[in-house]
Amino acid sequence: MEENEFKKSFQMILDVATERGYVTRDALREMFGLTAIESSHVIRHVMQKHPEIFKWDGASSSHRADLADVRKKHKP
């Protein structure tokens, strides 16, 4: 994965987490107008480098990240 692509994906994750307090595939789709596949790719890019950010949410059957976990990995 190219570093610029990771930075773009991480920034999208950070933006959604800041706005909503959490990140899910649906939240990425709604905020950025992405398709389900595109939003999954964004999450996958970040999970490859920081798998500890996302946790499996059994209630919604999706990966979810909370703002506090995202901020721990944010390096301005």
Residue 13: pLDDT band with limits 50, 70, 90: very high
Give the domain ranges of the chain. 1-75
Residue 17: pLDDT band with limits 50, 70, 90: very high
CATH number of 1-75: 1.10.10
Residue 2: pLDDT band with limits 50, 70, 90: confident
**Strand order from edge to edge, sheet including 62-66:** 22-23, 62-66, 55-57
- Report if pTM > 0.75: yes
Q: What is the DSSP string of 19-76?
A: HHSEE-HHHHHHHH---HHHHHHHHHHHHHH-TTT-EEETTTTEEEEEHHHHHHH---
Average pLDDT, stretch 19-40? 96
Give the pLDDT confidence of 41-75 residue by residue, as tens digits: 999 999 999 999 999 989 888 899 999 999 998 87
Beta pairing class for 55-57 and 62-66: antiparallel
